[in-house]
Amino acid sequence: MFKDMPREMLYAFARQNVPCVGFNVRRATRLVTQFYDRALAPAGLRSTQFSLLNVLAMVPALRMQDLADILAMDRTTLTRNLKPLLKQGWVKTTVGADRRARMVQITPGGRNVMHGAQPMWEEAQKYITERLGADTWDGVMEDLHRLSMIVEDASVDEAG
């Protein structure tokens, strides 16, 4: 049935028939992540790892939970995501003033590999923004953030 159907019709099928917000953002994310992962592969980094290093490069040190909040990522997911970076020596953790807390920090080696990946990231980013148009991308960013705030407000509603 779909065997000889051109790619665009598969897109159309999915778009026209699955109106779910979640389905569509997940689908787009899979494609975008694959795209960045391929671009960053020569630098030995995955998309998530590159993002993590970028955030950590902006601050002196962050508590696990604060970093998780910035990333809108479950705390325990962050623990697992840090594992390969710790193994490579690209980040390190130290015990905080509050000895329950662990502070996460980028290492010189982490900055190094991050800078090495920068050109690949820039090329990938440029590829997208050029084709999307700067105005459109600004709009998408804005919309994604509105969407994010809506669903996080929802979880606050539930909890409170």
Partner DNA sequence: CACAAAAAAGTGTATATACACATAATATGT
Partner DNA sequence: ACATATTATGTGTATATACACTTTTTTGTG
The site partner of 122 among a second copy, DNA, none (C-beta below 5 to 8 Å per kind) is: none
- How do strand 91-95 and strand 62-63 relate by DSSP bridges? unpaired
Q: Provide the token pair at 159.
A: 């909890």
For residue 93, give the DSSP letter.
E
Task: Work out whether 61 is an interface residue with DNA (CB under 7 A).
Answer: no
Helix (H, G, I), strand (E, B) or coil at 81: helix
The site partner of 96 among DNA, a second copy, none (C-beta below 5 to 8 Å per kind) is: DNA
Task: Work out whether 125 is an interface residue with a second copy (CB under 8 A).
Answer: yes
Q: Which residue in the set 76, 94, 112, 136 belongs to the binding site for a second copy (CB under 8 A)?
A: 136
Task: Work out whether 59 is an interface residue with a second copy (CB under 8 A).
Answer: yes
Task: Work out whether 87 is an interface residue with DNA (CB under 7 A).
Answer: yes
Of 41, 53, 8, 26, nearest to 124 by C-alpha is 41
Nearer to DNA, 75 or 115 (CB): 75
Nearer to DNA, 58 or 159 (CB): 159
State the residue for tokens 């997208």: 128
Nearer to DNA, 84 or 118 (CB): 84
Contacts of 34 (CB under 8 A, 6+ apart): none
Task: Work out whether 75 is an interface residue with DNA (CB under 7 A).
Answer: yes
Helix (H, G, I), strand (E, B) or coil at 94: strand
Task: Work out whether 70 is an interface residue with a second copy (CB under 8 A).
Answer: yes
How far apart (Å, rounded) are the C-alpha atoms in residues 58 and 69? 15
Task: Work out whether 3 is an interface residue with a second copy (CB under 8 A).
Answer: yes
Task: Work out whether 107 is an interface residue with DNA (CB under 7 A).
Answer: no
